[in-house]
Amino acid sequence: MEEEKLEMLAGFFKENPRAALGFSGGVDSAWLLYAGVKAGAEIQPYYIRTAFQPEFELRDARRLCRELGVELAVVELDIFQVEEAVKNPADRCYYCKRALFGALKERAVKDGFDLLLDGTNASDDADDRPGMRAARELSVRSPLRECGMTKAEVREASRKAGLFTWDKPAYACLATRILTGEEITSGKLKQIELGEDALFRMGFSDFRIRLFHGAARLQLPAGQMETALARRKEISASLEAEGFEGILLDLKER
């Protein structure tokens, strides 16, 4: 079945040999870029850079493009000009994605591309998700989803292809760390990013730091909780140095 889906994806690129790709540096868009290049299509990846994305995502995007011999286009977007996104309502993702895809479309059209792609896969099956609604409104196509490739299949295909992204943990944008309804500011985003960077350097992975009334609420995989408790003094010192007013451990595993 996986081989059949890979053939379908190759067929998609034969039918659509020229396209612009919204490229995040994550598992799905990395595989889609690789598949397009392997199929001989002209795929131009665009990274839409905003304050909502941590810097390591851009580093990963640049690394993968170097390894594939593709030039990455970086488009700067001031997300704080999108008032609805900054207010952080329940459907914030819609306004953010609408701005991201809008910036992608504007740049892609200027560069001569009329087909826009993203890395949504078949496991992302919620039609009412705000971000997917924005993609539909701007006619962004999702080849992985159209071909029925699930997240697990994308990871396995990426592993076989030797892509370093194959086991990269899913990473939601920094804005998701702030309580719905609480205004998003550059200071809060930077504090969260620096706090997560500190934990990455300590060896933790696939976790989240949620901003909770000035405190850092840690969400960790079950297998890392014992380590976190053993290193609680080190964690507290690192996060307090970034301005968090307290450190909370969420006992509900990530």
Name the CATH superfamily housing domain 2-167: HUPs (3.40.50.620)
Residue 241 per-residue DSSP state = T
Q: Which residue reads 């949620």 in tokens?
A: 210
Residue 233: CB atoms within 10 Å: 8
The ranges of the chain with pLDDT < 70 are: 1, 125-128
The residue extents of the domains of the chain are: 2-167, 185-250
Do residues 183 and 84 lie in contact, with contact meaning Cβ atoms separated by under 8 Å? Answer: no
pTM for this model (two decimals): 0.92
Protein fold of 185-250: Alpha-Beta Plaits (3.30.70)
DSSP 129-182: -HHHHHHHHTTEE-HHHHTT--HHHHHHHHHHHT-GGGGPPP---GGGGB-TTS
Give the separation between CA 104 and CA 127, rounded to whole angstroms: 22
Give the model's pLDDT for residue 253. Answer: 72
C-beta contacts of 225-232 below 8 A and 24+ residues apart: 225/249, 225/251, 225/253, 227/203, 228/204, 231/202
Residues whose CB is less than 8 angstroms from the CB of residue 26 and which lie 6 or more positions away in sequence, other chains included: 57, 60, 119, 165, 168, 170, 171
- Please tell me if the domain spanning 2-167 has the same topology as the one spanning 185-250: no
**pLDDT per residue as tens digits for the range 160-175:** 999 999 999 988 899 9
- Where does residue 160 rank: exposed (0-12), middle (13-18), buried (19+ CB within 10 A)? exposed
CA angle 189, 128, 1 (to 5 degrees): 100
